[in-house]
């Protein structure tokens, strides 16, 4: 089997391996997101608590990513509704001038038709029901009044929809802020716990991470082909990001959370997939067996579907695992996260 070697990043120096302590501090000022194995129930002390906090932070990150994606869609919908309302208002202003001309003509000819009076009032709804009052208007005038009333209704509806979307957007933005505070709070707790460790304990944690990164450089992937050209192209893009840091909420090109890596990689292949691991779990074709996976297939992990990576071949996953880690290859069996299913795109 072929041995994987980390590709050289163009124009970049080699990413220095972060210690767990330093990475946690960086995560507070930058942005990080996605998956840490469940701590062994038998483990005790600060390290087990740090593991738990990191996992909770990565799970909260996927919810943050989902809310951010929703906010982006709502912002576009609000903008579109407001632009449509502005166009309708402009058109309505022109029709109002026509209605004014009708009113002026009728006034000069002996009085203002009651239907026109009603239309020009603050509540023109129902003016067409006044059929008996329409006999003094020409067919062309009636058509102009009908068009005016129809567009006025449309404008009111457009403005109501925009107001409702704005309220939804405000609610989602508040949720984003709350989720961000939650993530930063958990990372701050983890940092505080790491600060209670001795220098020897911190060095041991850093060495564990460094071993994982070194193992990633020597991983044996085999030569199995991807199931599709799209998956092969996305997987190739992700392989080029090995060694870059995990950062919550990041989607490349120089830092990633778990779903940020997979969505970025597929985007490089010209394929748009959802931003979050939960949404990515429900696209493409589901593959229920690990043995049926091909390199470039997505791997959905954890019962809440809060982690995702690429199947890399030979039982390995390529992913952005957790705060303090780098994009790397790891054994699926040793990840500590239950495999749910694969997704083929």
Q: Is-catalytic flag, 258?
A: yes
Tens place of pLDDT per residue across the chain (345 aa): 445 544 444 444 333 333 333 333 333 333 333 333 444 443 457 778 888 898 899 999 999 998 898 888 888 888 888 887 777 777 777 666 666 665 555 555 555 455 555 555 544 554 444 444 445 555 666 676 677 677 777 778 878 888 888 888 888 889 889 989 999 999 999 989 888 888 888 888 888 888 888 888 888 898 999 999 999 999 999 999 999 999 999 999 999 999 999 999 999 999 999 999 999 999 999 999 999 999 999 999 999 999 999 999 999 999 999 998 999 999 999 888 999 999 999
The residues, ordered by sequence, that sit 6+ positions from 25 with a Cβ below 8 Å of its Cβ are 191
- Is there a catalytic annotation at residue 211? no
User: DSSP state, 134?
Assistant: G
CATH annotation of 224-345: 3.90.1720.10
322 exposure class (CB count in 10 Å sphere: 0-12, 13-18, 19+) = buried
Marked catalytic residue, from 307, 322, 328, 344: 307
Cβ–Cβ < 8 Å for 221, 329: yes
For the chain, give every domain's residue range: 40-197, 224-345
Contact 33, 260 (CB under 8 A): yes
Secondary structure of 22-85 in HEC code, one letter for each residue: HHHHHHHHCCCCCCCCCCCCCCCCHHHHHHHHHHHHHHHHHHHHHHHHHHHHHHHHHHHHHHHH
Active site residue 307: yes
Does the pTM of the predicted model rise above 0.75? no
Catalytic residue among 302, 319, 322, 328: 319
């Amino acid at each position: 089997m072929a041995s994987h070697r980390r590709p050289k990043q163009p124009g970049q120096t080699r990413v220095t391996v972060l210690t767990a302590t330093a990475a946690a501090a960086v995560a507070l000022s930058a942005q990080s997101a996605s998956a840490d194995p469940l701590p062994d129930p038998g483990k005790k002390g600060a390290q087990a608590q740090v593991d738990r906090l990191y996992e909770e932070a990565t799970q909260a990150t996927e919810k943050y990513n989902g809310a951010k994606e929703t906010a982006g869609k709502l912002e576009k919908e609000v903008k579109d509704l407001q632009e449509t309302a502005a166009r309708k208002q402009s058109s309505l202003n022109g029709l109002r001038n026509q209605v004014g001309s009708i009113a002026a003509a009728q006034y000069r000819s002996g009085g203002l038709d009651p239907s026109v009076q009603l239309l020009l009032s603050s509540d023109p709804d129902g003016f067409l029901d006044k059929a008996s009052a329409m006999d003094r208007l020409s067919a062309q005038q009636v058509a102009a009044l009908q068009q005016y009333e129809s567009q006025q209704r449309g404008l009111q509806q457009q403005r109501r929809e925009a107001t409702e979307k704005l309220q939804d957007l405000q609610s989602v933005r508040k949720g984003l802020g709350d989720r961000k505070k939650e993530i930063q709070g958990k990372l701050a707790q983890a940092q505080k716990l790491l600060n209670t460790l001795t220098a020897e304990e911190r060095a041991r944690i850093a060495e564990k991470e460094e071993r994982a990164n070194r193992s990633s450089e020597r991983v044996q992937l085999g030569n199995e082909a991807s199931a599709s050209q799209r998956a092969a192209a996305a997987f190739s893009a992700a392989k080029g990001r090995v060694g870059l840091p995990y950062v919550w909420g990041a989607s490349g090109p120089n830092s990633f959370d778990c779903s940020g890596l997979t969505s970025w990689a597929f985007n490089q292949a010209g394929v748009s997939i959802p931003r979050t691991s939960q949404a990515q779990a429900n696209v493409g074709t589901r593959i229920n067996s690990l043995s049926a996976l091909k390199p470039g297939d997505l791997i959905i992990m954890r019962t809440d579907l809060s982690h995702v990576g690429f199947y890399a071949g030979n039982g390995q996953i390529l992913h952005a695992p957790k705060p303090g880690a780098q994009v790397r290859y790891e054994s699926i069996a040793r990840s500590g996260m239950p495999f749910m299913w694969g997704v083929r795109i």
